[in-house]
Amino acid sequence: MTRTGPPGRGEGQGPGDGGDAGRPDASGGGPDGTSRGSGDVAVESADGHGGRRSRWFRWRILALGLGAQTASCAFLFGIPFLVPAMQRAENLTLSQAGTVVVAPSIGLLLTLILWGAAADRYGERLVMALGLGASGLLLLVAGLTGPSLPALFALLVAAGACTASVNAASGRVVMGWFSAAERGVAMGIRQTAQPLGVGVAALALPLLAEHAGYRGAMLLPAALALTVALLVAWFVVDPPRPESDGDGGSPHRDRSPYRGTTLWRVHGSSALLVVPQFAVSAFAPVYLVTMHDWSALAAGAFLAVLQGLGALGRLAAGYWSDRVRSRLRPMRTLAVASALVMLLLAGGDATWSWLAVGALTLAAVITVSDNGLGFTASAELAGISWAGRAMGVQNTTQNLAAVLTPPLLGLVIGDTRYALAFCVAALFPVLAVWLTPVRSERW
């Protein structure tokens, strides 16, 4: 059974729900098939009826969503940290180890939209708990049984497919319990799960692999996933669902928001903005080491600091979008800034080292700051009945762009053509400026 929030004051309150958290607004279609406004997707703020308890309740849900996404990211982005130990233990080439590393992403891409549809249909609590729990069990098997490499690859694909449940459902549950005026900050906090997960993996997995082998190190993401799955199953409360039909049947289903072009344009512009982000994140370490003579240790420490600054950038962008009552206007402005900073980085590469490093610092913050805006806009424009699927599609398009960017841009770079590659990366946010459907957003 799906545990949902209270239907309203006077209609009863579930134990521990934190009081009335509002209701979904009536949904109505816009001229292109999208919802009329951001209020359609989520409940009203809990502040009005639950007092202090309601406010804490929403933040508890946000903390659980953040924890679920962090556990997922520790696995998805943590496997690369096990490559050296994997190569030593299995005598693998870098290419062979890379094939194992990409396995979770394959599973993720295959199931994101399906998990989003499941969240729309059955609720976020069930989807997150099942997906994370299954992912943890599969990683437990991988860590304890010593499977062959083909079997390990299959287990990691399956674990990636299961952990994909969190990407759509954790965002959807956060969206559902925060009002439009707070949602940008809430989703910005949720988006910090990626640097948090990467940080946990970077600090713990190499050390564990050194003492317990790479298979033993996989027990950490397994334990995280299982622990958070239990917390989600026990404490998460699904936001109110759409009203049922008058005859007591299934909830009313809005017509597909994908009949129009607005959501497709949001997904497309978000995917375009991933290109400069991964141009920086994928090539910054080798760029600093080979072109600026940094040590690998210094480059790693510098990039760890930039991860933290990038998390702050996501929070600032979310706060900005709440204040101006728009997700897409700040997203378009950040696209302009992203194009400019990539050109500045190209200029620094061709001229002065200090300029290149300064531009790289700015690029590492600016190019990730729009992430939460695209997710929030997708769900708001889709409406509550389609939010999970919309976030699944959003995640799929962005992950496809992330997978394709490093190898294709690597062909442009060759040995030393970084300035050219940064200029090429600057073209994509320029296209995103044109594609972002600012005028279709209504509050």
Q: What is the pLDDT of residue 300?
A: 78
Q: What's the Cα-to-Cα distance from 237 to each of 54, 134, 136, 139, rounded to whole Å?
A: 12, 20, 22, 27
Residue 107 lies in a domain: yes
Residue 431 lies in a domain: yes
92: domain range? Answer: 42-235
Residue finishing a domain among 183, 204, 235: 235
Is the same domain home to 181 and 300?
Answer: no
How many domains, the chain? 2
| Mean pLDDT in order along the chain per 10 residues (443 residues) | 44 37 40 45 41 69 94 90 86 79 90 92 93 96 90 95 91 86 90 87 87 92 96 91 53 74 95 94 86 84 86 93 94 97 95 93 94 90 87 92 88 88 96 93 71
Is the same domain home to 203 and 325?
Answer: no
Burial of 347 (0-12, 13-18, 19+ CB in 10 A): middle
User: In terms of Cα–Cα distance, which of 45, 73, 54 is closest to 13?
Assistant: 54
Q: What is the pLDDT of residue 245?
A: 47
Is the same domain home to 206 and 307?
Answer: no
What CATH number does the domain containing 54 carry? Answer: 1.20.1250.20
Phi, psi at 108, each rounded to 5°: -60, -50
3-state DSSP assignment of residue 35: strand
Residue finishing a domain among 201, 235, 269: 235
Residue 35 lies in a domain: no
Output the CA angle 270-272-278, nearest 5 degrees: 100
Is the same domain home to 138 and 266?
Answer: no
Q: Within 13 A of 139's CA, how many CA atoms are on the CB side?
A: 32
Is the same domain home to 126 and 94?
Answer: yes
Burial of 349 (0-12, 13-18, 19+ CB in 10 A): buried
Residue 32 lies in a domain: no
User: In terms of Cα–Cα distance, which of 274, 278, 270, 275 is closest to 378?
Assistant: 270
Is the same domain home to 354 and 221?
Answer: no
Residue 81 lies in a domain: yes
Is the same domain home to 53 and 102?
Answer: yes
Is the same domain home to 421 and 286?
Answer: yes
3-state DSSP assignment of residue 437: coil
Residue 330 lies in a domain: yes
Is the same domain home to 152 and 210?
Answer: yes
Is the same domain home to 53 and 149?
Answer: yes
- List, in sequence order, every residue forming a beta bridge with 251; answer none if it has no partner: 244
Report the helix count and the strand count for the chain, using DSSP H and E.
16, 0
Residue 151 lies in a domain: yes
Residue 4 lies in a domain: no
Q: What is the pLDDT of residue 180?
A: 85
Residue finishing a domain among 177, 202, 235: 235
Is the same domain home to 178 and 277?
Answer: no
Is the same domain home to 94 and 176?
Answer: yes
